[in-house]
Chain A
Amino acid sequence: MTTRPKIRSRRILPGFGLTLGCSMLYLTLIVLIPLAGVFVKSTEGGWDFFWQTAFTDRAMASYRLSFGASLIAALINAVFGLLTAWVLVRYRFPGKRLVDSMVDLPFALPTAVAGIALTAVYTSNGWIGKLFAPEGPIGSHFPPDGIPLAYTEVGVVIALTFIGLPFVVRTIQPVLEDLNREAEEAAASLGANRWQMFSRVIFPELRPALLTGFALAFARAVGEYGSVIFIAGNIPYKTEITPLLIYMKLEEFNYDGAAVLAVVMLVASFVLLLLINGLQWWSSKFQRAAV
């Protein structure tokens, strides 16, 4: 009897059972059970079926494209995202507030709209694609085809770069804003030049955030479907991303096959995220040890 009031005193606020119960039920019904279903379904055809479906040449080509293009896009975003965050935090220029809100456009713009807009811009008669077409000012230096952008792997990278753009900027920006400028002043008084200051004082502080942003952009890009399928051209073995392959299996009512590819994707992105998390942990440990 004596323990009872103690337990009660810990939970004075009401509604614990109701809110936890409702959210657990909702989470389980909408997310957990259906997701578990994919894993169950993928094993239904047996181990041989799993192996044969997961590693066909066409599936392998799609993994290479999905993960490779996502990696390149995330790297591009890491570089230009860092530059953008730097410019937005440290410099002043007219229209800065507008540019700052524009960065979130890929979050707010529906992927299908992004897809058709990017396709229109980057095809050989689009505003930017025209420059790289065989008769365009840049493309004419690369005979005979110029540099085709849409309907190639380059197009996939362009779409994935668009999708991942805000992640790096938005993870680095708050860290850069909170950065203690006294460390820079100290470095200056010790005679460091601006580049040394950036590479040895500022960049190590930004590295964990940069890795987080990179990981988020990468994870988003791997699963992306809407913006890619318009600009990719979807040529088997060449510009076919894994989510599209899953979609096509479903259209053929090959549910087991679709589930197998989905499981490969889920596991692969999970392992990659784990790796990146490890890298992030190592990076922050390394940084602490250096200080």
Chain B
Amino acid sequence: MVVLKIPTGGRLIMAGAGTTLRKGQGRRDGDQAATLVEPAWVRFLITATALTFLILFLGVPLLAVFYGAFREGWRVYMDAFQEPEAYNAIKLTLLVTAVAVPANTIFGVAAAWALTKFKFPGRQILITLIDLPFAVSPVIAGLIYVLIFSIHGWLPPTTLAHATSWAVPFFQSWAPTFALWLAEPKIIIAIPGLILATIFVTFPFVARELIPLMQSQGEEEELAAITLGATGWQTFWRVTLPNIKWGLIHGIILCNARAMGEFGAVSVVSGHIPNQTNTLPLHIELLFGSRMFAASFAMASVLTMLAVVTLILKALIEYFHSKGGEEAES
């Protein structure tokens, strides 16, 4: 069972220790210290309740993934990865993430620069609008692109083709697949839709990490660099970027985890074609639905390990970052 080590109400006793006490006053101070901490049984009860809650809701499901994955043996686990569907799903997930995360990173940095280094009317509204995708259900995030780009939508592939078909001959010789896509630019039930939906749901991660950080750092250092004759880019790469490095990495890690694991939004636009538009989370659903539980949990274990690595990196960054901050302050 959990052993509790509780600090005695340290500060109050220390405060009392420095002063000379009259008889009797010491006992009163001791009583005060006692009332600043809960009785041991209360502390034990609260800790046990909180930990039981966390174990039931977090620990048990986490273990269940690995139990489900390995329950039919190592061979079944490895076989799940031999399937071409699994291979293609992993490849597609990596591709979608490789586009969505850099796109949102560039946007996040640009938005944070505009919103924190300058003051202009409508600034606060813009900050609120950036958070909007967090308030929208993932299913609605997918729906909005279906309404626009599906064959019954406002901009179906046939309409888009008017705008893109002129470029077909240009790409035909060296990028034939892309040229084929340009001739009939399908977005829904195709990879561009998956990318768009993923970008939407991971939209705010980097920006909302950077905005408060750059706000608190102010603009003096950048102003100094400019005054000393640095160009805008030099100022950004040599002054701003080193300052926001850890916040940026923190935001990218969270953005990446969400991008790889997104399910709802991607599910709406995907069309669930194995080997073509099934990302890893959708492949997990497919396997689970066809009662191939071991394979499903084997795939899930990959994403679970991604989540665990994300949490470890996040904890490390927060640990070193706060340590670095304290050193800089002292």
A263 CA to B231 CA, complexed, in Å:
47
A273 CA to B35 CA, complexed, in Å:
38
A41 CA to B148 CA, complexed, in Å:
10
Residue of A whose beta carbon sits closest to that of B265: A225
Q: Shortest beta-carbon distance, A245 to chain B, in Å?
A: 9
Residues in A neighbouring B227, C-beta threshold 8 A: 12
In chain B, residues 61-82, which have Cβ atoms closer than 8 Å to a Cβ of chain A? 61-62, 64-65, 68
In chain A, residues 24-81, which have Cβ atoms closer than 8 Å to a Cβ of chain B? 24, 26-27, 30-32, 34-35, 37-38, 41, 80
Residue of A whose beta carbon sits closest to that of B5: A92
B143 and A38 contact, CB distance less than 8 A = yes
A93 and B4 contact, CB distance less than 8 A = yes
Interface centre among A34, A103, A273 (most CB of B within 10 A): A34
Interface residue A204 (Cβ < 8 Å from any Cβ of B):
no
Residues in B neighbouring A193, C-beta threshold 8 A: 35
Residues in A neighbouring B133, C-beta threshold 8 A: 31
Q: Mark A98-120, 1 if CB is under 8 A from B, else 0.
A: 01111111111111111111101
Chain B contact residues: helix, strand, loop or mixed: helix
Residue of B whose beta carbon sits closest to that of A100: B315
Q: Which of A111, A192, A219, A258 contacts B264 (CB 8 A)?
A: A111
By the criterion of a CB under 8 Å from any partner CB, how many residues of chain B are at the interface?
104
Interface residue B3 (Cβ < 8 Å from any Cβ of A):
yes
A104 CA to B253 CA, complexed, in Å:
13
Q: Which of A23, A100, A246 contacts B139 (CB 8 A)?
A: A246
A258 CA to B300 CA, complexed, in Å:
30
Residues in A neighbouring B111, C-beta threshold 8 A: 19, 23, 27
Interface residue B285 (Cβ < 8 Å from any Cβ of A):
yes
Residue of A whose beta carbon sits closest to that of B7: A92
Interface residue A185 (Cβ < 8 Å from any Cβ of B):
yes
B281 and A110 contact, CB distance less than 8 A = yes
A223 CA to B201 CA, complexed, in Å:
12
Interface residue B101 (Cβ < 8 Å from any Cβ of A):
no
A201 CA to B219 CA, complexed, in Å:
38
A230 CA to B65 CA, complexed, in Å:
14
B263 and A273 contact, CB distance less than 8 A = no
A41 CA to B154 CA, complexed, in Å:
10
B62 and A105 contact, CB distance less than 8 A = yes
Given contacts A102-B58, A255-B147, contact A86 B137 (CB under 8 A): no
Binds B, one of A121-129, A135-143, A205-213, A279-287: A121-129
B144 and A37 contact, CB distance less than 8 A = yes
Interface size class of A (residues with CB under 8 A): 35 or more
A258 CA to B140 CA, complexed, in Å:
9
Q: Mark B219-257, 1 if CB is under 8 A from A, else 0.
A: 100110011000110011000000000000000001001
Given contacts A34-B144, A194-B38, contact A22 B53 (CB under 8 A): no
Residue of A whose beta carbon sits closest to that of B43: A91
Residues in B neighbouring A34, C-beta threshold 8 A: 144-145, 147-148, 200
A23 and B107 contact, CB distance less than 8 A = yes
Q: Mark B118-145, 1 if CB is under 8 A from A, else 0.
A: 1010000010011011111111100111
Given contacts A27-B129, A91-B4, contact A226 B263 (CB under 8 A): yes
Q: Mark A183-198, 1 if CB is under 8 A from B, else 0.
A: 0110011001110010
A237 CA to B212 CA, complexed, in Å:
44
Q: Which of A22, A86, A127, A188 contacts B64 (CB 8 A)?
A: A127
B64 and A222 contact, CB distance less than 8 A = no
Residues in B neighbouring A184, C-beta threshold 8 A: 36
Given contacts A83-B53, A87-B47, A225-B263, contact A243 B138 (CB under 8 A): yes
Interface residue B268 (Cβ < 8 Å from any Cβ of A):
yes
Closest CB pairs A-B (n = 4): A110-B261, A223-B137, A14-B232, A226-B263
9 sample A-B contacts, Cβ–Cβ < 8 Å, listed by A number: A23-B114, A30-B203, A83-B50, A91-B6, A93-B5, A109-B307, A184-B36, A185-B11, A250-B146
